[in-house]
Structure 1
């Protein structure tokens, strides 16, 4: 209640003046009230009220004493500050009075300074006149000095001439500098006109210097004094340039001269012009080879001179050997690019590639022992960029491709003419027919690949890929030539005379190409023969085999046309004649190497079997009785056995023969009970899944005793058991076409009811 009553008191003037104190007091009272309510919320706590009052009284006394001490200290500091401010104000007032007195004294002495200004002007004029008097003898002798300098230049006394020239330039530049400082620009033109001869002398001196630098490679070998003199003059001028540029207040006309940079430019132009700006050269074959050899010799010789002699004639910071090496390198790069603009043949492209990638870095040129280790071109980059090298390699491959194509075309033309010769092809030591075609083709391709390997592996790979492409294309053209030869032979079988022998020679040639192509690339890791090339070789082999089998077929067909017949049933030499034809061809086939010989035997046997079966299915004969069927079965057994024994004798295993189909067909005809044909036919179609309904129907017709009901049962059974050809199965019946049966009830030709 006491705290609440206190809050209701009227505000004192001090509270109005310090609102923060009132706010603080309220917060303190509130905090005290909160603390008291928390401590004395229970009656038993009131017993310690006296202790709390005593402790808070002591605490308040301590706080009051500290506040008094702080306020006292603050008041003492304020008092000392006020005293210092008062002392400073008195000193400032004294200084103001002294400054006022000095100002009045200066105003009284102003008239006396006017006389001093006139003395200053006279002094400046005196200094100028004294300077002019000092240089008058030199000014009067300027033209005489010019004449003397010119005489010295004509006599090639370059150091003396340059010393006097520097003196004249120094005189002129001092005068111009003074005029510049005094901003007397109108007088500068007069001075420049008076010293106008300096420009001509500078140009004359510079011309002699650059002529000397242009002949530096010769001079350092014969008499290096003149070259050293030129370098000393250039260094003098460089120091003058550096000094003037460092001061950066006034640059005389013609400065900076930059003669050191000019020295580099002249030296680089001399090197470039001596070898790379010559008249138009012969960019083909021998002319290019001579040009590159001359470049190699001259560059090595001149770099030796630079390394051994010129380096000693110039300061070390010139890096003259590095500058010359880089100049030759860059000039060669540009020069080779210019040469590549020409339409170069393959020899020229090869020379450039070999020279740039091999010779240039070899001990014969930039890696010469006389140049190492000072000459190092590794930091200059390649002479030709990788992109340019790739472009050159592609151009080279195109040129080689054209050459290979032309050569192969001539080879094919010669080979084609040889097929029509009146003598057999040549044989090797084993008696196999052959020609020079594989050796010529592979040797040509191999030589080009080997030559490319002398440059880079990438070029070798490009030429290798091109060689395989051209070989594939050549095989295609060779196959077309065989087809053309076959057409000529069909018109007249006596032309070519040794048609079969040359076909066998081509098969041996194809085998030789197949075995050689795998080793065409010297690096086994890069022998990637494309599948298309193997396919081309396979097509070539198949075409030659096909033409041979067609030739065999032409000799067999007249005999096969006699099958079947009554005369054949009664016994004839028909199959014996067929065996003689086959044996004749087999003897010819013995001139081809074994893999193809075996293939030809297999294909010949398949051809004989299919022709034999085809003849039986031409509906030329129907057995009229059981006796005829027995004769037919006997004849089939004899023929098949004779043919089979023939091929076995030639080296063809019985498991590789297709004549087993004749034995199986004989079982169908020999079956005495037609009701069992459906089971026999089921076994037949299981063994020969390519047999069709027409084939079976024709065979049933051949028996001559099969009723419509039995035929229907057999065909229905076949429909219920469709067959799938195994992957390894060799088709035989699918190649045999059965004649279409004639429609019945024909009233007249071409129209049926």
Structure 2
């Protein structure tokens, strides 16, 4: 940037500031003060500038000094490199001069190797025999030592051939050496067979001679170290001795696992035709695993190196072998309670105090890798078992229905109709048989888990609902068959009473099952239970209607004669109705109290409906002073009060009647007053219209109000 330009800019800024400072003459008096301030500000700026410049100069001095040091070091390094180059110049000549020396060194090393292994090379036959005899005598450490010496002799010679292939015949020499030492492989094979035999009988040998297990493991550890050394050597030289790595530790683990598999497979029962074969088989398996793990924890653990973690390794072996065995059992197809046995054993016994959680073992459950069966397999087992339960329910409940229908149509005497001792109330064995059947299944599933029990409970309720629907259909067919041949089925009422009581008993037993097996925390599927109860309640109500309708069949003709001229002449008709109903109702004492109340309400409603229908059927027309009302029910009393009411107060009485019985229609009231020949129809209609206009919301809805909805007439009145 141009300094002159900066000075001009500074000058302009200063002039502007002075102009602003001295706008009035009075401000000139402060000139000396302004001047002093400016000098102080200038002195402060000069001091700050000097300080900054001084710091910059110090930094530059330090930098220059460091650059001088670096230059000196670079020059020194350059001189040293030059000296080294001078020293290295004669090395190629020296290297060529030492070629003969190097050859002699290699020969010396080869001669040294040959001399070192000369004994093994010259006496290989004798040493092989000696080693084999050690193996036969179970002197395995001595045998392994001899084998190790022979392998070292062979591998060292092969290594010498490998590092200088140009001086030897290459592959030919290697083949010759390996052929010369081929009996080493024989020793290795025999020793390996011996070790495999010992490991396969590990649990037996550890009881009688644990030192043999320790010896075997020492040999395996030595071979593992030799494998590691051979692999390290391969990284640097590319040479890997024949047969390496042997991986005897992996071999040992595989043999131990195979021994576990043989223990589990060898314990299974051959005869699956026995009823409890699976129970016995699993119990034998449990005892074997428990005893073996106790033995492993107490005897094998001290024999094996700590890094083997042999106890938990065996737990994994048994877990895996058992899982495979159980999968084979499942694939062979289970039957009936075999599902329960297997599920209970897997979910409860295996992880329970009888096996894995046994106090002698103290197994950390986190060490067990995965479940015995996958969740989808367990779900499939549960589903298959529930399907078996459902098939059993379907078959048994169908048989119960068939038995019920046979009893309905059988010609047995009244004394033998209900053989079971259920007291004064008529019942059949159906509810108790179904309940016992369901309870047995739920008790069995409860030994497995609460979830399966709840699923079984829902299934049971669903099948009970289907049974209730079929029961209802069969009872309806039974009713129509009875109506078709009225006198053929002598004890129709007795059987219907038993049906009504059966439905109530099924409700009671369903609630008992819910109390026993429905989890308190379970809120789902509650509508299933309510629907089941509703179905049996509907069955009871329909059967109660059938029972009352059958009682009314014999008095239907008497109702047809009410409010006729014959009725006026013969006042015994009402007594005949009462007598007939009393005879029919005499068997109702065999209904349970709740059912008796239900039936009596239906009978009261039906009696009222028939009586009112007869009353409104315009069979009779009389003067007010000639009317005498016979009133069996409160509703009929209400109608009788309307019928004999004063014409002037009729609107008020009709308003009360319409408020209490909203379903009564204009046609019903007109038909009622048809009996009153002293009142014209036009007046009645006018009173009815006035009452309907004055009617407010219903005062109270009577229980029998719906009777009027069921009373209809096809013929027109007036």
d(CA) in 2 for partners of 1:606, 1:666: 17
Q: After TM superposition, list the pairs within 5 Å mapping 1:384-395 onto structure 2.
A: 384-395=373-384
Match for residue 25 of structure 2?
none
Structure with greater Cα Rg: 1
d(CA) in 1 for partners of 2:680, 2:35: 142
Tell me which of 276, 281, 289 is aligned to 1:291.
281
Are 1:146 and 1:197, in contact at CA under 8 Å, matched by a contact in 2?
Answer: yes
Tell me which of 101, 110, 131 is aligned to 1:128.
110
Match for residue 573 of structure 1?
572
Are 1:283 and 1:344, in contact at CA under 8 Å, matched by a contact in 2?
Answer: no
Indicate the RMSD between aligned Cα atoms, in angstroms: 4.5
Match for residue 612 of structure 2?
613
Match for residue 622 of structure 1?
620
Compute the displacement of 1:610 (Å).
Answer: 1.1
Match for residue 146 of structure 2?
164
Match for residue 655 of structure 1?
none
d(CA) in 2 for partners of 1:101, 1:264: 63
Match for residue 436 of structure 1?
429
Are 2:673 and 2:684, in contact at CA under 8 Å, matched by a contact in 1?
Answer: yes
**Number of aligned pairs?**
681
Q: Does 1:411 align with 2:400?
A: yes
d(CA) in 1 for partners of 2:142, 2:666: 121
Are 1:690 and 1:733, in contact at CA under 8 Å, matched by a contact in 2?
Answer: yes
d(CA) in 2 for partners of 1:103, 1:406: 104
Match for residue 268 of structure 1?
257
1:535-570 CA distance string (max 9 Å, x none): 112111112101101111202202112223212112
When residues 342 and 367 of structure 1 are mapped into structure 2, their CA distance, relative to the original with a 3 A threshold, is same
d(CA) in 2 for partners of 1:477, 1:707: 55
d(CA) in 1 for partners of 2:253, 2:81: 71
Q: Does 1:449 align with 2:442?
A: yes
Match for residue 10 of structure 1?
none
Match for residue 650 of structure 1?
none
Are 1:283 and 1:342, in contact at CA under 8 Å, matched by a contact in 2?
Answer: no
Q: Does 1:241 align with 2:227?
A: yes
Tell me which of 497, 504, 525 is aligned to 1:511.
504
Match for residue 603 of structure 2?
604
Are 1:618 and 1:739, in contact at CA under 8 Å, matched by a contact in 2?
Answer: no
Are 1:586 and 1:601, in contact at CA under 8 Å, matched by a contact in 2?
Answer: no
Tell me which of 707, 723, 744 is aligned to 2:680.
707
d(CA) in 2 for partners of 1:587, 1:89: 135
1:292-346 CA distance string (max 9 Å, x none): 1110121112222212222232222221111111211122223223322343233
Q: Does 1:259 align with 2:259?
A: no
When residues 172 and 94 of structure 1 are mapped into structure 2, their CA distance, relative to the original with a 3 A threshold, is closer
When residues 679 and 570 of structure 1 are mapped into structure 2, their CA distance, relative to the original with a 3 A threshold, is farther
Q: After TM superposition, list the pairs within 5 Å mapping 1:183-582 onto structure 2.
A: 183-184=165-166, 185-186=170-171, 187-247=173-233, 248-249=235-236, 250-276=239-265, 282=272, 285-369=275-359, 371-373=360-362, 375-380=363-368, 381-419=370-408, 420=410, 421-423=412-414, 424-425=417-418, 431-520=424-513, 521-522=515-516, 525=520, 528=526, 530-582=529-581
Q: After TM superposition, list the pairs within 5 Å mapping 1:2-17 onto structure 2.
A: none
Compute the displacement of 1:36 (Å).
Answer: 9.2
Are 1:425 and 1:501, in contact at CA under 8 Å, matched by a contact in 2?
Answer: no
Which 5+ residue runs of structure 1 have no aligned equivalent? 1-19, 644-658, 744-753
d(CA) in 1 for partners of 2:579, 2:42: 147
Q: After TM superposition, list the pairs within 5 Å mapping 1:94-173 onto structure 2.
A: 117-173=99-155
1:561-587 CA distance string (max 9 Å, x none): 222321211233111010112222332
SS in 1 for 2:590: coil
d(CA) in 2 for partners of 1:470, 1:93: 104
Q: Report the TM-score when normalising by structure 1.
A: 0.78
1:415-442 CA distance string (max 9 Å, x none): 3333333224358676222233222222
When residues 315 and 56 of structure 1 are mapped into structure 2, their CA distance, relative to the original with a 3 A threshold, is closer
d(CA) in 1 for partners of 2:102, 2:373: 74
When residues 268 and 546 of structure 1 are mapped into structure 2, their CA distance, relative to the original with a 3 A threshold, is same
When residues 357 and 728 of structure 1 are mapped into structure 2, their CA distance, relative to the original with a 3 A threshold, is farther
